Amino acid sequence: MTNIPDPFREPRRMHGVLGLPTDHETIPLILRHDDVRKAAKDWHTFSSDAPYRVPIPSEEHLRSVRQLPIETDPPLHTEYRDLVEPFFLRAKQPAFVARVEAIVDRLLDEAISRDTVEAVGEFALPLQSRALTVLLGVDEAEAERFIGWGIHVFHHGENGAENGRDLEQYLNEQFDKAAIHPGDDFYGLLTKAMFQGRPLTRAEQLGFANLMFAGGRDTVIHSVACAIGYLAKHPAAFATLRADPTKIVLASEEFFRVYMPLTHIGRVCPVATDVHGMTVNAGDRASLCWASANLDETVFPDADEVHLDRRPNPHVSFGFGAHLCLGAAHARTVMRTLLARLCARVGHIDLISKVDRVEHTTAYDRPLGYESLIVRLRQA
């Protein structure tokens, strides 16, 4: 049995909020499941119309464009979202799933042939990078550049700012090409799209594409690595899943719940607001703590335990309300396909060594998966 570390348990029970000191403000993290979902829907009080300030820490020095549609509020957010949502939903189509399955199988071929594989950088990173080319509708060879940016474009070692500049240069190159020969890929879609009766500006195009890379990489990478780590540490659970692959959908959702890679996300309060006893000045931020909400024992029985057949599972790992993650279908396809192919092809996963990844702050320390996870995949 695995007990998931929960640094938010006591403040969630006692106060429903936890103060996170930063250089300029103390940000209240909203902790309870019901409170997080209410705040996520109340964009008048907790606004996303805050370029660069939705992530915590802020990203003014890492990018030059507002990420779209996440850094807007309805109704503008809804109009922006409607432009691209059908494109993201292609991740549910059988042809998309088949291409991701082929990527997983190639990676498994390599991993099984070797004595060991490092599951974060050598498996999960290339898996998501290559799967992202399928989502974007571009040649898989493009993934090599994505892999070079590391786990997170903006927060990978000492190269965050440099990666951010390289990402923006890369995206401008793609939009320049699409402006001349617009295809059916993501860049062509944004080049051809009409918004409020006009074409998207280059800044708007970059805003959509920036979020695609910055918001949808490390989240999937760490979820994949954590799932592999769990199955390595719990061979009986892996055996149960192999014996009954119909549980894969439920297991995927449970992995997303307990291994939520994004601890929280910011909102700006347009006016002075009382947040469960903490005062937020006008223009300052509160934050929705997804990780705490996912471990709320009033919603999830045995919340700190992994139940691969958990049902219902109203986790908020893909957000809630208007800002429900556009990449949710893609993330689910990657996770479910990985688990299905592991169950079909791998008989046992040996855990050789690991280096835990921990988010250290002045308010809490939270495990966030692995810096390194070395495993051996034994063929079924």
Domains and CATH numbers, the chain: 9-379 (1.10.630.10)
Q: Which of 264, 220, 257 is nearest to 359 (CA)?
A: 264
Peptide bond preceding 57 in cis form (omega within 30 of 0): yes
Residue 155 has pLDDT above 80, yes or no: no
160 pLDDT band, cuts 50/70/90, is low
- The pLDDT of residue 47 is 98
pLDDT number for residue 156: 56
Q: What is the pLDDT of residue 62?
A: 85
Across the beta sheet with 365-379, what order do the strands follow? Answer: 117-118, 365-379, 346-360
- Confidence check: pLDDT of 2 > 70: no
pLDDT for position 215: 80
Average confidence (pLDDT) over 130-143: 97
- Average pLDDT, integer, range 345-351: 98
Q: Give the C-alpha separation, 319 to 56, whole Å.
A: 16
Instruction: Judge contact between 316 and 225, C-beta under 8 A.
Output: no
Confidence of residue 157 (pLDDT cuts 50, 70, 90): low
pLDDT of residue 154: 73
> Is the bond into 11 cis (omega within 30 degrees of 0)?
no
Q: Is 88 left (phi over 0), alpha (psi -120 to 50) or beta?
A: alpha
Work out the pLDDT band at 49, boundaries 50, 70, 90.
Answer: very high
* pLDDT more than 70, % of the chain: 98
45 band by pLDDT with thresholds 50, 70 and 90: very high
Q: Is pLDDT at 327 greater than 70 in this prediction?
A: yes
Once rounded to an integer, what is the mean pLDDT over residues 293-321?
Answer: 97
| 161 pLDDT above the threshold of 80 | no
Tell whether the model's pLDDT for residue 263 goes beyond 80. Answer: yes
Q: How confident is the model at residue 1 (pLDDT cuts 50, 70, 90)?
A: low
Question: In sequence order, which ranges of 181-316 are alpha helices (DSSP H)?
Answer: 186-192, 202-215, 218-233, 235-243, 248-258, 290-293
Across all residues in the chain, what is the average pLDDT?
95
Residue pLDDT, tens place only, 197-250: 999 999 999 999 999 988 878 899 999 999 999 999 999 999 999 999 999 999
pLDDT in tens, 29-39: 999 999 999 99
Is it the case that residue 191 has pLDDT exceeding 70?
Answer: yes
The predicted-structure confidence for 3-33, as pLDDT tens digits, reads as follows: 899 999 999 999 999 999 998 899 999 999 9
Burial class (CB in 10 A: 0-12, 13-18, 19+), 3: exposed
